Structure formats: C-alpha cells, structure tokens
C-alpha cells in the first residue's frame, strides 16, 4: 500500500491552479450518475459552466436519462479536460466526485447561475427556460487530478473552490461589470486575451468574473486569466482589471 501511495503527489499550488483552470474553462464534461432502480452507473456528455465559487453547473432536461439519475441519487462524478494532439492520456484532466443540488426557479441563486451558464453557452437560451429544464450545482466532495503521466493528485473541495468574502458582492455586480468591459474596453480585453497561451486574435469577450479571475470567450474557445491575488473586496475589481491592462500594455510596449 505504501508503494502505491507514492504515485500520488502532495497537492501544491501548481496542482490547485491547474485544477482551477480545468474546471473554470470546461464547456463540456462526462457526467456519471446512478440510475434507478438498481443504481447502475450511466455516463453521458453534459454542457458545463461554473457558479461564482467555481462549483460546476449543468443544465439538463427532465426527459433525459441522466436527470433521472440525478434525482435518484445526488452522488455523481464529472470528468473534465479536453485531449489535444497525440496521446489523449498525456493531457490534464480532473475527475470530481460531487453531490448534485437542483436549483429551483425561485431560488435566489437561479438568476446568477442562469446568466453565467448562458454567457458560456449562448445557444442554450433557446431552451433554458423550458419547464422541463433545470440547473444543478455539482458540489465537489473530492477530486482526482491527473496533470499528465506521473502527475496524480487527490484534492479537497477547498483546493478547487474560490473562497472569498467578496463572492456575493461580485455576483451582484457581475452582469453590469461584464457589460461595461465588453462595451467600453475592447482594447483592454484584447490585451487580456494576449496573455492566454495559444489565444488567436479576434472578438474575445469577458463571459464570467469571480474573486480569483475571469474567463474570456471567443466562439467555442474559453480562456482564463487569474489575478495575482484574489479579490477580498468587490470594490477592488475595477482597479484590479485596470492595473492588469496597464501591466500588459507596458509589457508589450
């Protein structure tokens, strides 16, 4: 047993950052549920977004088979991470063990979750408000991160989730902040996009903001920029975004 445990590395900040990137930038994942009546595992593909604390969020139809599993047993697993060129097993991925929480329409978090999901998946607006569709938060209980060959980690929820006293206040101002940035600061957004590895020039837009950073979207592409230090007060957002743009301009100039 001791020899086997050597394959699991000690969780460090590099692993936490990679886990956060994988969860925050995922558009789709493999969702595994336990079907009634016998609890047999069932896996399917699901569109994924995140809540402000980085909890994964899905939107599902009551007519789908995986929804019957979600309602039958809240224990689910979510695999995130897209393979690239070459061996798919050489690319990072994370498997989260979660408890599903259905978000009813009169829940105080429904508007926030809906808005964040639709900015990640705009075409979902065609059916998101149908009566048989529901959002679920997939609250992490644990996770297994594989950063590539020989880079395996066991993670706790606090290694993945964003804990900040500014979370609630940022959620309230997120819509207006994103609209302002996308409408009035396209030049700054272009600098932000230039910070992302492999980002191509084009009409990038901010699609989500949280205390630890923000995501940019360009068509089906999603990228993430992390702040050097997480925001502790929502009033720091404007100055943090401005300082980041100034730093990037200076680096390029």
* CATH 2.30.110.10 location in the chain: 2-160
Which residue has 């399917």 as its token pair?
Answer: 44
Nearest to 24 by CA among 161, 130, 119: 161
Contact assessment for residue 111 and residue 44, using Cβ atoms and an 8 Å cutoff: no
pTM: 0.92
Which residue has 């993430």 as its token pair?
Answer: 224
Looking at the predicted structure, is the pLDDT value of residue 59 above 50?
Answer: yes
Looking at the predicted structure, is the pLDDT value of residue 218 above 80?
Answer: yes
> CA 157, 55, 131 angle in degrees (round to 5)?
145
- Round to whole Å and give the CA distance between 41 and 252: 51
Q: What is the mean pLDDT of residues 25-37?
A: 95
Mean per-residue pLDDT of the chain? 91
Going by DSSP bridges, is the β-strand pair 75-80/28-35 parallel, antiparallel, or unpaired? Answer: antiparallel
Q: Would you state the pLDDT for residue 3?
A: 47
Looking at the predicted structure, is the pLDDT value of residue 196 above 80?
Answer: no
Looking at the predicted structure, is the pLDDT value of residue 62 above 80?
Answer: yes
* CATH 3.20.180.10 location in the chain: 167-252
Quote helix, strand, coil % in the chain, to nearest 5: 35, 30, 30
For the chain, give the percent of residues with pLDDT over 90.
75
Query: For 107-133, how does the pLDDT look when each residue is reduced to its tens digit (9 = 90+)?
Result: 999 999 999 999 999 999 999 999 999
Q: Would you state the pLDDT for residue 253?
A: 53
Which residue has 């050597």 as its token pair?
Answer: 6
Provide the H-helix boundaries in the chain: 2-5, 13-25, 65-72, 110-120, 157-160, 167-184, 186-194, 237-252
CA 18, distance to chain mean position in Å, is 12
Least confident of 22-31, 174-183, 185-194, 231-240: 185-194
Query: For 13-30, how does the pLDDT look when each residue is reduced to its tens digit (9 = 90+)?
Result: 999 999 999 999 999 999
Fold of 2-160: Pnp Oxidase; Chain A (2.30.110)
Q: Would you state the pLDDT for residue 2?
A: 44
Kindly tell me the sign of the dihedral angle through the C-alpha atoms of 192, 198, 202, 203. Answer: negative
CA 236, distance to chain mean position in Å, is 22
The CATH number assigned to the domain with range 167-252 reads 3.20.180.10
């Amino acid at each position: 047993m001791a020899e086997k445990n050597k394959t699991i590395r000690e969780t460090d900040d590099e692993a936490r950052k990679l886990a956060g990137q994988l969860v925050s930038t995922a558009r789709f994942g493999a969702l595994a549920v336990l079907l009634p009546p016998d609890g047999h595992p069932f896996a399917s593909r699901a569109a994924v977004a995140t809540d402000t604390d980085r909890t994964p969020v899905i939107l599902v139809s009551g007519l789908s088979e995986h929804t019957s599993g979600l309602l039958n047993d809240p224990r689910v697993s979510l695999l995130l991470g897209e393979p690239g060129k070459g061996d798919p097993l050489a690319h990072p991925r994370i498997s989260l063990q979660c408890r599903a929480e259905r978000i009813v329409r009169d829940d105080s978090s429904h508007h926030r979750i809906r808005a964040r999901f639709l900015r990640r998946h705009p075409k979902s607006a065609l059916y998101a408000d149908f009566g048989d569709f529901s959002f679920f938060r997939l609250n992490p209980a644990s996770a297994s991160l594989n950063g590539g060959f020989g880079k395996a980690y066991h993670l706790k929820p606090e290694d993945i989730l964003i804990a900040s006293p500014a979370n609630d206040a940022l959620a309230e101002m997120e819509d207006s902040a994103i609209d302002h940035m996308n409408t009035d600061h396209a030049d700054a957004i272009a600098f932000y996009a230039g910070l992302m590895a492999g980002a191509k020039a084009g009409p990038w837009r901010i699609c989500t903001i949280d205390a630890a950073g923000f995501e940019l979207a360009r068509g089906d592409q999603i990228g993430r920029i992390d702040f050097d230090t997480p925001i502790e007060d929502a009033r720091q957002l404007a100055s943090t975004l401005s300082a980041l743009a100034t730093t990037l301009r200076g680096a390029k100039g």
